[in-house]
A and B are shown apart, each in its own frame.
Chain A
Amino acid sequence: MSSPSTMKINGREIEFHKGKTILEVCRENDITVPTLCHDDRLKPYGGCRLCIVEIQGVPRPLASCTTPAEAGMEVTTETPRLTRLRKTVLELLLSNHPNDCMCCEAAGNCGLQTLAYQYGARLDKYPGEQWQLPIRQDNPFITYEPNKCIVCGRCTRICNEVVMAGTISITNRGFEVMPDTAFGKPRSLLNCEFCGQCVSACPTGALTDRKGRGLGRSADVKKVKTTCTYCGTGCNFFLNVKDDRVIRVTSDLSAPVNKGNLCIKGRYGYDFIHHEDRITTPLIKDGDGFREASWDEALELVASKFNSLIAEHGPEKVGGFSSSRCTNEENYLLAKWVRCAVGSNNVDNCARV
């Protein structure tokens, strides 16, 4: 990597590598700059104008997300003028935004709400016409409330730039502009992968996960970072847990492998965890069927039966199949169990099938 250049941000001398934007340099140095249209997974866009900063020698503020950092630059991220301009931008956004945070699915996890609070933006500063469009729930996974859209383009950009699914794009012009599917058709497998990437990119409550609606909002859940159980890619995400139940999966933007990206299985394939078909108690064969048993009874039966088979026929006649679905620790234990408790090497896993 080339040797670092230096610039000044808020009076601080900062080293950076050429090719970064001012916003990226700020974030690397824990300097907060507000944005609504920026997503690390996307190319710089410069749409929302909230990330404006003052640069010495430049008469007007510039969007930090699209301005490359240059050696010797002197940048200021907070001034009274910037605060005033950002507040105005927010108030213009709020002029066409429903005032229903108390019922909104995204409350507590909404960039617009956070910034409106931070900048003291008034809801009624610019009264005027507002969208009155119906909620769209035309598919099992993604709920669309167009009235809450601020047209930051994150959903359409992630759909086209990252997933390349081409499901949604910005449609119409002027006041009517909004992200939508072609011809406003319902989402189906014909036009959508249902990866929910658009939901993960949305900074407001315009796009939300339908399956988790009404079950608990950001502040109500415990978020447990874990690794996906499906394919071998190893995506990380947050299981959102309320009352000992998984109610939603949300993106972990810091995940080393997937950087917050997920597919339909990772994001929406979690209902099996609490499905009524789960086997909840040990079962012992009884005639043509099975009868329920306690753990103690079942495990004692398993242990004594294996022991008697080993005693009668030798350890070479007993073995175990392990699972590529289970954890490393469990696979190790099964390998150890066959070698130590059974006494054979008859252990294999389904890695080959």
Chain B
Amino acid sequence: MAGLATSLGAGAATNSLNQMPDIDTLFLFGSNPTEAHPIVSLYLKEALTNGAKLIVGDPRKTWMAKRADVWLSLNPGSNIALLNGIINVIIENGWEKSEFIAQRTEAFEELKAKVSEYDLDRVEKLTGVARQDIIEAARLYSHAEKAMIVYGLGVTEHQTGTENAMAIANLALVCGQIGRPSTGIMALRGQNNVQGASDLGPLPATLPGYQSVTNPVLREKFEKAWGVKIKDKPGLKSVEMLDECRKGKFKGIFILGEDPAHTDADAKHVQEALAAVEFLVVQDLFHTETTRFADVILPGASFAEKDGTFTNGERRIQRVRQAVTPVAGLAEWQVISRISTLMGYPMPYTHPSEIMNEIASLVPIYGGISYDRLEEKGIQWPCPTKDHPGTTTLYTDLFSRPGGRAIFMALDHQGSGEIPDDQFPYVLITGRIREHYNNGSMTRRSKGIAEIVSQEMVEIHPQDAEALQIINGDWMKVASRRGEVKVRAKVSDRSRVGSVFMTFHHQKVLTNILTSGHRDPITGTPEYKACAVRLEAWRE
């Protein structure tokens, strides 16, 4: 999200899901919505039924890729090269929207100079995508009346994730495909409340509502409301806290509803850190890889056991309502309040609606939100005042950067942190399937789901399987520089030659033992989407 924030001003999807059926050209990039976001995919399917053209950028032959007008099956890690190449084709042909660029953006000349280094010969070589497909994608996207880019974690879960998102913003800005309904950039969010968790300030450099801790005016506003002095320097990111733990320099962590020992890349590294910290408190619904390291485990309450709100991927704040009593008696907001009160900072909340009222008073984009307004349906931020209806389309007249203009970012291809070599010749891509969710702690405990998808499998192209003398269902060893797992093969041409695919839904096969420690230097997001592995048949 840091990528879009840099280019456009806010780290959030620019448009609304229900605008999707009216798209003329859809550019789906690093996203497999029929598996990971099934209900979003219904909107996109409606758009296709209505005649929308479809460009898919994905190394895997997904449901959408099979139906694409242009399928760009790019080499993992070559996103920036591909986008630069497309933009270069657009500019060389004069397909850019000059008026939009002149009125609403800055630094176009820098971008133009940079992408001119990405001629089709070079881009073909870097991405593995044929030149006629790059030209056709450029033509379709730039000539559409309303073109939308929908991207997923295939864009952000690279060491260049932030820059990948900026490259996407570059493309939308060059063609003026932003600031109107059914255009723009939709980032599909993996977890129910990624947007809200970013919005409300559990971030080391910003107070709730993306208000910088280094800004004295904003800091003072919170200091006044909270009655404390706030440190003026950003704190540590989660990965940095874990690094400090390994050095023995970090002493206490409270982990609320997360399982980094399972879902973080390079899981062994994380586990060493959690073992090293002096005092670890973990609150969760179930025992996880992470709770093993805890000094105190606190029971969590599921979404059915508490009141509150989630903010979805289109910035819509919606109610979560308590349906049953918390299994362990308390919900998280009560637990945090009590710990804080016991530590000497009283939090006397009696209901989550009071917390939302406090949020509204401090966070301008949530300024008009209160529970009574969310009764019927949610509201999309920014919603600054009580009579504001919320915002379905961002940037209709101004971008939220200083001066109101978006900025082009000149970017270079870097590739993945780990590239296949003789020792580890395959690329492992990780992701989700429709039936399961993240570490699987919830879906594996839901009747029927565990039954129909009971185990992890590694998806491998028939040609690679033949070379390794593997047939469907055989046990395989997948090894990277960091570890190895034993897993059954699923032979399928969804994966391309040289790449394999695994999920991370099963505790018995910890896929993230394999993934690399390379991270996006800006956000700290691990490179889940590409690491080098070796494959062989498992012989007992």
Do A341 and B344 touch (CB < 8 A)? yes
Instruction: Count B interface residues, CB 8 Å.
Output: 143
Do A347 and B235 touch (CB < 8 A)? yes
Do B193 and A324 touch (CB < 8 A)? yes
User: Does A45 count as interface, using CB distance less than 8 angstroms?
Assistant: no
State which of B188, B192, B296 has its C-beta within 8 Å of the C-beta of A229.
Answer: B192
User: Does A352 count as interface, using CB distance less than 8 angstroms?
Assistant: yes
Q: In the complex, A140→B356 CA distance in Å?
A: 40
User: Does B420 count as interface, using CB distance less than 8 angstroms?
Assistant: no
Do A331 and B193 touch (CB < 8 A)? yes
Nearest Cβ distance between residue B462 and chain A, in whole angstroms? Answer: 18
Do B355 and A295 touch (CB < 8 A)? no
User: Does A58 count as interface, using CB distance less than 8 angstroms?
Assistant: no
Residues of B within 8 A of A277 (CB): 286-287, 445
Residues of A within 8 A of B352 (CB): 327, 329
Do A324 and B197 touch (CB < 8 A)? yes
B-binding segment of A93-101, A102-110, A305-313: A305-313
Binary contact track A225-244/B, C-beta < 8 Å → 1, others 0:
11111111111100101001
Residues of A within 8 A of B199 (CB): 328
Do A320 and B310 touch (CB < 8 A)? no
With A234-B192, A269-B443, A350-B238: A284-B296 Cβ-Cβ less than 8 Å: yes
A-binding segment of B92-100, B170-178, B225-233, B403-411: B225-233
Residues of A within 8 A of B205 (CB): 345
Q: In the complex, A313→B191 CA distance in Å?
A: 35
Contact residues on A (Cβ < 8 Å of other chain), bracket: 35 or more
Which residues of B225-253 are within 8 A (CB) of A?
A: 226-228, 230-231, 233-238, 241, 249-253
Q: In the complex, A305→B228 CA distance in Å?
A: 21
Chain B's closest residue to A233 (CB) is B39
Do A309 and B279 touch (CB < 8 A)? yes
Do B445 and A334 touch (CB < 8 A)? no
Chain A's closest residue to B196 (CB) is A328
State which of B197, B314, B441 has its C-beta within 8 Å of the C-beta of A326.
Answer: B197
Nearest Cβ distance between residue B98 and chain A, in whole angstroms? Answer: 31
Do B203 and A265 touch (CB < 8 A)? no
State which of A140, A290, A333, A352 has its C-beta within 8 Å of the C-beta of B333.
Answer: A333
Q: In the complex, A84→B258 CA distance in Å?
A: 61
With A227-B320, A329-B308, A346-B204: A323-B256 Cβ-Cβ less than 8 Å: yes
Which residues of A293-313 are within 8 A (CB) of B?
A: 295, 298-307, 309-310, 312-313
Nearest Cβ distance between residue A256 and chain B, in whole angstroms? Answer: 4
With A333-B347, A341-B344: A327-B308 Cβ-Cβ less than 8 Å: yes
Nearest Cβ distance between residue A207 and chain B, in whole angstroms? Answer: 15
Nearest Cβ distance between residue B515 and chain A, in whole angstroms? Answer: 11
Chain B's closest residue to A347 (CB) is B202
Residues of A within 8 A of B453 (CB): 189
Chain B's closest residue to A319 (CB) is B241
Do B190 and A232 touch (CB < 8 A)? yes
User: Does A262 count as interface, using CB distance less than 8 angstroms?
Assistant: yes
Nearest Cβ distance between residue B380 and chain A, in whole angstroms? Answer: 10
Q: In the complex, A265→B309 CA distance in Å?
A: 20
User: Does A61 count as interface, using CB distance less than 8 angstroms?
Assistant: no
Q: Which residue among A141, A233, A277 has the maximum number of chain B CB atoms within 10 Å of its CB? A: A233
User: Does A211 count as interface, using CB distance less than 8 angstroms?
Assistant: yes
In the complex, 29 of the A-B residue pairs with CB atoms within 8 angstroms, ordered by the A residue number, are: A140-B449, A162-B42, A163-B42, A194-B435, A194-B448, A195-B38, A227-B319, A230-B442, A233-B39, A239-B304, A264-B38, A265-B436, A268-B449, A271-B447, A273-B302, A273-B305, A278-B299, A279-B286, A307-B344, A322-B256, A325-B257, A328-B310, A329-B352, A333-B355, A335-B208, A339-B222, A347-B203, A350-B263, A353-B238
Using a CB–CB cutoff of 8 Å, the interface residues on chain A facing chain B are: 139-141, 161-164, 188-189, 193-195, 210-211, 222, 224-236, 239, 241, 244-246, 254-258, 261-266, 268-275, 277-285, 290, 295, 298-307, 309-310, 312-313, 316-353
- Given A239-B304, A261-B42, A271-B445, 12 extra CB contacts under 8 A: A139-B448, A162-B45, A228-B303, A256-B377, A275-B445, A277-B445, A285-B294, A320-B253, A330-B256, A331-B196, A336-B226, A350-B260
Using a CB–CB cutoff of 8 Å, the interface residues on chain B facing chain A are: 1, 17-18, 36-40, 42, 45-46, 49, 188-205, 207-208, 213, 222, 226-228, 230-231, 233-238, 241, 249-258, 260, 263-265, 278-279, 281, 284-287, 291, 294-300, 302-306, 308-314, 316-325, 327-333, 335-340, 342-345, 347, 349, 352, 355-356, 358-359, 377-378, 434-437, 441-443, 445-449, 451-453, 520, 523-526
